[in-house]
Amino acid sequence: MKKEIKDRMKLTMLNLKVKEKKRDDEKADERLRITAESLLKHNFDNDSVQYWGWLPKSVFDAGISSRALGLLTMLTMNSNTLPVSEGRRVTVRIKPSVVLNWLKIANRNQAKTIRGLLDELENSSLIKVTGDEIELLFPTMDEAKKNGGFCKVYTNTYNSILDHSHGVATLNRIAVYVGVRSLLYEDKNVGGSHWNVVYHNRSDGWIGEKIDLSEATTKKIIQWFIDNDILAWNLLQNRNKYHNKIYYLSEPHHVESLVYDICNELNGSNVLRVVA
């Protein structure tokens, strides 16, 4: 853990101690213990190289289903720019049976579902299918930056979703992950010295609308991410008359920014405490 984070946590706990003692002296020590343990539970030594793919945010304007978005992401994560492809991003030797293998689906009758999703993507001008080659009809990254931006999809997190999941439901889970990623910006000019890489699950309904899923289903999938440790998380208690709880989430390799953001919320009295 970097010294900056240690110092920030120490100062935050000192400030929080005063507040908790004032609120309820008898419960203060236990509440402070839970907050400290919750913030320290993360792996702060995850300094491995992080690989990622990307999708232009314009895909959210294409009107495709959540399953189609999940499949498009899978095609993206398996695409390459080959010497013979003249700069095009392509996924080669792809048939519905290959996608079924990715999804760990043994029932070959589900190939009809995959064909339907490929047709949906092609009819939306997001891919071009030629035999067993699929071309992604994406703008270049520079073009995407000028037209709404792009979403990073981290390989480790993507693979973790696949490792913990199987079946067509995997497509919706990938789509929700992409929806979460669409709200995050890894730019130090946004939000000061720490990147805007923390997701607050107040936005579940907005993501659901964006990827064509109900808010209830989106919340269920976010909870699945939490239960399976797909994303790093903490549960905070709001400082309002309801004292409701809200999750703060980040990529596992962004836990320092997650904790820093939570410390800022505690110091600013925007939340009461961390409960998990």
For the stretch 109-136, pLDDT in tens is 999 999 999 999 999 999 999 999 999 9
Q: What is the pLDDT of residue 208?
A: 92
Q: What is the pLDDT of residue 251?
A: 95
Q: How far apart are alpha carbons 107 and 91 in whole angstroms? A: 23
**Greatest pairwise CA separation for the chain in angstroms:** 70
Q: What is the pLDDT of residue 86?
A: 65
As beta bridge partners, residue 51 has: none
What does the pLDDT look like over 86-107, one tens digit per residue? Answer: 667 888 889 999 999 999 999 9
- Burial code of 86-113, b = ≥16 C-beta within 10 A, e = fewer? eebbbbeebebeebbebbebeeeebeeb
- Tell if the pTM clears 0.75, that is, is over it: yes
Q: How far apart are alpha carbons 42 and 234 in whole angstroms? A: 10
The tokens describing 258, both together, are 């997650």
**Nearest residue to 133 via CA among 171, 82, 175:** 82
Q: What is the pLDDT of residue 84?
A: 58
Give the pLDDT band of residue 85 (cuts 50, 70, 90): low
Give the pLDDT band of residue 83 (cuts 50, 70, 90): low
Identify whether the C-beta of residue 185 lies closer than 8 Å to the C-beta of residue 195.
Answer: yes
pLDDT averaged over every residue in the chain: 92
User: What structural domains and CATH numbers belong to the chain?
Assistant: 3-48+182-274 (no CATH), 52-156 (1.10.10.10)
As beta bridge partners, residue 271 has: 238
